[in-house]
Amino acid sequence: MNLDHFGMDTITLAGPLEAKLRAIRAAGFTQVMLMARDLVGHPAGFAAAVAEVKASGLRVTGFQVMRDFEGLSGPLHDYKVDIVKSMLQMAKAVSAPMLLVCSSTSSMATGERAALVRDLQALAMLAVPLGIKVGYEALSWGRFVNEYPQSWEIVAEADRANLGIVVDSFHILANRTSFEHIDEIDSAKIALVQLSDFMWRDIENAEHRIETARHLRVFPGEGVHSHELADLVRRLDRIGYRGDYSFEVFNDDYQQMPLDLVGRRARDSAKWVTDQVLRRSLPVRGPGVAAHAAQSR
């Protein structure tokens, strides 16, 4: 695991797209997770935004975010299918290999498993000709699907080659979901792992959860769940996950800090995560070896 396995997310940084990309690159990262509004809000238009991403030399981790898609019916369903087609076309334009889909919060949606499976299967099918994977994430305030074991069960049941789950540490920590179920996931079906932490242990209600998620996340190693985060990453490593890690850090403070400072925090965080995994995978040194190392210093 090295810095190439990590990417920053445009949502963490303030300023125009070009500055964000430059800062991510300058911090030593080779990939970026893109938020649609960073591209469509570009003053010179979407095509210019795509050109900036391509010129940055950064690999695109994925494209976000499709919300409230599954479980709808009638005109609302048709409308959302239209929206997701546009999202897929934008993802394709910017060479994003994956579209992130968050579990629905809609009061109009059903939680019926068969409907959710069917809708995700259709979405995955729409993505096939475009060469895009679909990553389904359990939002911690999702109406019916709000924990990763549920999103995994649905993805497994849908059983499409280009459909996987997105593991987001924030939502797992916020809902205090057990890590035990990580072992049940087929690592090849993890489309992406998003990492972030926050600064307190108790989240009182859904509003507090949403507020924290959207404004007060921090990088791994900076929050109060470092022990749990290290455990999560080690578990993912143990089941064979070798894909990308993206820092999904929504933070109002970082939005008013110079980009290079935030980039440095992200880089320190990547090192922290790498150390957690290395600590497990390195062989334990015997006293003789340690003594020899001490002497040679």
Partner 1 sequence: MNSRESLPQPLNPLGIDGIEFVEYATREPLKFGAVLEMLGFVLVARHRSREVLLYRQGQMNVIVNADAGIAGDSQPPTLMALALRVRDASFAYKHTVELGAWPIPTRAGAMELNIPGIHAVGETIIYFVDRYQDFSIYDVDFKFLPGVDHAPKAVANMHFFGVVQAIGSGRSADWLDFYDHLLGFRNLPKGEYFGILPKGTLLESPCKKFYIQLIEPPEGSDDVVWDEEWLRLGIGTPDVLAATKELRERGVVFVDRENLHTSERGALTQFYLNGVAFEFVHSHLQPVR
Q: Tell me: does residue 187 bind partner 1 (CB under 8 A).
A: no
Residues 6+ apart with CB under 8 A from 156: 186, 189
Q: Tell me: does residue 122 bind partner 1 (CB under 8 A).
A: yes
- Give the shortest CB-80-to-partner 1 separation in angstroms: 13
Smaller CB distance to partner 1: residue 64 or 162? 162
Q: Tell me: does residue 42 bind partner 1 (CB under 8 A).
A: no
Q: Tell me: does residue 113 bind partner 1 (CB under 8 A).
A: no
Stretch that binds partner 1, among 119-127, 145-153, 242-250, 261-269 (CB under 8 A): 119-127
Q: Tell me: does residue 123 bind partner 1 (CB under 8 A).
A: yes
Smaller CB distance to partner 1: residue 162 or 194? 162
- Give the shortest CB-121-to-partner 1 separation in angstroms: 7
- Give the shortest CB-108-to-partner 1 separation in angstroms: 19
- Give the shortest CB-85-to-partner 1 separation in angstroms: 7
Q: Tell me: does residue 189 bind partner 1 (CB under 8 A).
A: no
Interacting residue with partner 1 among 26, 55, 108, 128 (CB under 8 A) = 128
Q: Tell me: does residue 85 bind partner 1 (CB under 8 A).
A: yes
Q: Identify the sign of the CA torsion 74, 77, 79, 81.
A: negative
Footprint of partner 1 on this chain (CB under 8 A)? 85, 121-126, 128-129, 131, 160-162
